[in-house]
Amino acid sequence: MTPMNLAWTFGLVICLAAGLQTAPPIAVAKLVAEPATVSMRAGESVAVKITAFDARGKPIPDAQVRVNLPRTAGTYADGKITAFAAGKVVATAVAAGAMGAPPVTLEIPVTIAWPALATLDVSAEPGRLYTGLTLAHKASGAHADGSNRAGLVANWRSSDPAVATVDRFGNVTGVKPGAVTITAESESVSATRAHTVAANPVATLQLGITESTLRTGDVIKLVGTPKRADGTTVTDAPITWSFTYTAPEGNTVQAPGGPGIIDDGLFVANYPGRFNILASAGSAHARTAIEVTQRDVRQQFTVTGRGIIRDTHTSDLWPYTGKNGRDYCIVGTWGGDGYAHVFDITDLTNIVRTDSIKIDARTINDVTVSPDARYAVLSREGASNRVNGVVLLDLADPAHPKVASSFDTELTGGVHNMFATNDHLFAVSGGSKYVIINTEDLAKPTYVSEYRHPNARLHDLWVRDGIAYSAQGGVGTVIVDVGNGKWGGTLKNPKLVTTFPINSGHEIYPYAQSSTGKVYLFIGDEEMGRRGRAWEGTNYQLSSPGGGPPKGGIAQTSGGYTHIVDFTDPMNPRKVGRYHLEDYGSHDIIVENDILYQAYYDGGVRIVDVSGMLLGNLYDQGREIAVFKPYDPEGYTANAPFVMNAMPWKGHILFTDFNSGLWVGKLEPVPATGGR
């Protein structure tokens, strides 16, 4: 089985435990699916009936059963499986078993095929096809409903290989002047691209690369000008770039994998050494040498304080400055009977709990505070009456927040993530949509509108400048105008701006980088199932009989990484990089002042330099500033780091650990001899 078959997301498992908490007292002994296996096409919905039986073989009509699929493959709702992408996956049904026994599970094999291909299109990279030059071509397909075909493989052919050849990847090379047609075909659907090959006029190449020294991770533009024999510029001749690499003298690793990257006219070095940048346009060639040194941004991380929580798991955090001028942090709990804790963090070396707030919930997965610190919000999952929603807290007395109201309109499926502005709250409802709530009157919050994207599983959103950026499994990133106005959207009438397909639908953070003028989206995976990898993980179970996590046990494991997308042009987003460690998985993300604060689950809290243009894997480039893993021998699970959230706060870093509560640390000043 592949990881896709068994990858349950942490968010879905959290929902599972919340749902089990509210199950009826009759224990489930067996689950049966009708049909037992499913075959379908992407985009379709198929009814699947799940029946729970007790130990005597009698059906349990109102049994609480959760059905989960890998988030990129599909979803289950209203008794139907809806498929997103082709593949062989497993839908897993889970219900609470007898007291003292593990949950009852049922695996339903699901085979998903693509719909028939309806259209095909061939595009070419910019430039003219001259003799001796190569242009890359791409085939894109769509189904009858307009949805794109992922992973399309086409067969390529040239109408006259004596004029131009094409390889199996769509790279077309001019051979001699003349007319030629390039054809791509897939599933009996074809498309063409015509070229008139001309004699190559390029005699020389003039490089415009001014840099001679770089640090690992520094990105530069590759600039070259093709010229004719008379010195005039050839504006439409494509340039092919490559490099050679020599490791520093004395380096025992003479040829590390992937020492550098060339992508879309950009170059970045992953490792120190000497790089010869090579450019060619047919028979014209040029080269320049660049010396790359190791990026040294490391700083020592020191723990300054703690807000210990060991009697239950810890979820999210949010710091704020109260009306009394003191600083506080509100912290949620997971499987903790609806408790949130308030800490005074004015003195970051002496954190003091000032209050605890109990609401009707099994889990408070997310907490947030309005920018003006007028109110806070607790999300609810697993309420006793199955009516979840959110609870608004009045922060007039910031050390002792008071419940102002609750709101559950369109939110009964459970709220996993939220985003607050001074007057409005965006709340994710049951993974299907987000609801916009007016919070001007804390005692009487009101429904404004909602946004639901088709065939998607929503997990997280962040709102900036009237644009809602959301991570949605099955689709990728969904961008909606919720008041910016450029795309005609308002809070009452949200308008879709665009979507960006990416194999992640968990966390998202938009960052406007002042030094480059770029907008980057940091988009986090979350994979709790590691089966099929060299390190398959511990098979940790997040739920126990009765729906609560057992104290003690073994450490959790995770997978997945953070994607980096250049979103400067919303109509032309492009994935440019990632922050990736194979043996751990990413969770919450914050970027501030060119520093990424990454909660990386069992990989701890990780602080990463994201200054300048970004390209490739930041981990390879030595961009990590500091890493800290919170070990606690008395934690809920002893010595098991599992960082949920991290935020910068007044020169420090706050973060919550699933097993040991709130932590605070800081980066020590860089010694004069080096470092960031």
CA-to-CA distance for 278 and 265, rounded, in angstroms? 12
CATH number, domain of 153, equals: 2.60.40.1080
Question: Is 84 in the same domain as 146?
Answer: no
**Domain-terminating residue out of 452, 484, 518:** 452
**pLDDT value, residue 386:** 78
Tally the domains of the chain: 4
Q: What is the pTM of this model?
A: 0.87
Residue pair 602/559 in contact (Cβ under 8 Å)? The answer is: no
CA-to-CA distance for 557 and 547, rounded, in angstroms? 20
Tokens of 277: 């940048």
Tokens of 64: 């609480």
240 lies in a domain?
Answer: yes
Place of tokens 């800081």: 666
Residue in 130, 141, 125, 18 with CA at minimum distance from that of residue 415: 18
CATH number, domain of 248, equals: 2.60.40.10
104 lies in a domain?
Answer: yes
Strand pairing partners for 30? 53
Give the single-character DSSP code of 59: B
CA-to-CA distance for 327 and 652, rounded, in angstroms? 13
**pLDDT value, residue 256:** 64
Question: Is 11 in the same domain as 74?
Answer: yes
Residue pair 161/142 in contact (Cβ under 8 Å)? The answer is: no
Question: Is 287 in the same domain as 218?
Answer: yes
60 lies in a domain?
Answer: yes
Residue in 165, 148, 18 with CA at minimum distance from that of residue 84: 148
Strand pairing partners for 643? 601, 657
Instruction: Extract the residue ranges of the chain whose pLDDT is less than 70.
Output: 1-25, 100, 251-256, 541-550, 673-676
CA-to-CA distance for 442 and 532, rounded, in angstroms? 49
Question: Is 82 in the same domain as 216?
Answer: no
599 lies in a domain?
Answer: no
Tokens of 316: 């999210």
418 lies in a domain?
Answer: yes
User: Torsion over CA of 539, 545, 546 and 550, rounded to 10 degrees?
Assistant: -60
**Domain-terminating residue out of 148, 173, 197:** 197
What is the biggest distance separating any 2 CA atoms in the chain, rounded to whole angstroms? Answer: 92
> Which residues are CB-contacts of 291 (< 8 A; sequence separation ≥ 6)?
212, 213, 214, 274
Residue in 351, 340, 348, 347 with CA at minimum distance from that of residue 376: 340
**pLDDT value, residue 47:** 96
Place of tokens 């470092």: 675
**Three-state secondary structure string covering 215-247:** ECCCEEECCEEEECCCCCECCCCCCEEEEEEEC
Tokens of 87: 């593949």
Question: Is 149 in the same domain as 210?
Answer: no
Q: Name the phi and psi angles at 19, rounded to 5.
A: -65, -40
Strands 624-628 and 266-269, by their bridges, are unpaired
Question: Is 66 in the same domain as 173?
Answer: no
Over residues 185-204, the pLDDT tens digits come to 999 999 999 999 999 999 99
318 lies in a domain?
Answer: yes
Helix (H, G, I), strand (E, B) or coil at 625: strand
CA-to-CA distance for 52 and 174, rounded, in angstroms? 65
Question: Is 326 in the same domain as 408?
Answer: yes
Residue pair 104/31 in contact (Cβ under 8 Å)? The answer is: yes
**pLDDT value, residue 531:** 75
Strand pairing partners for 645? 656
Residue in 93, 81, 88, 74 with CA at minimum distance from that of residue 45: 81
CA distance readout (Å), 383 to 367, 392, 436, 548: 16, 15, 21, 14
Question: Is 234 in the same domain as 353?
Answer: no
Q: Which domain holds residue 345?
A: 309-452
**pLDDT value, residue 146:** 84
Chain mean position to CA 387 = 29
**Domain-terminating residue out of 85, 113, 141:** 113
Helix (H, G, I), strand (E, B) or coil at 650: coil
Question: Is 267 in the same domain as 353?
Answer: no
Question: Is 154 in the same domain as 221?
Answer: no
Question: Is 229 in the same domain as 258?
Answer: yes
CA-to-CA distance for 341 and 329, rounded, in angstroms? 8
**pLDDT value, residue 424:** 98
493 lies in a domain?
Answer: no
Question: Is 210 in the same domain as 192?
Answer: no
CATH number, domain of 381, equals: 2.130.10.10
Question: Dihedral sign, CA of 80, 84, 89, 90?
Answer: negative
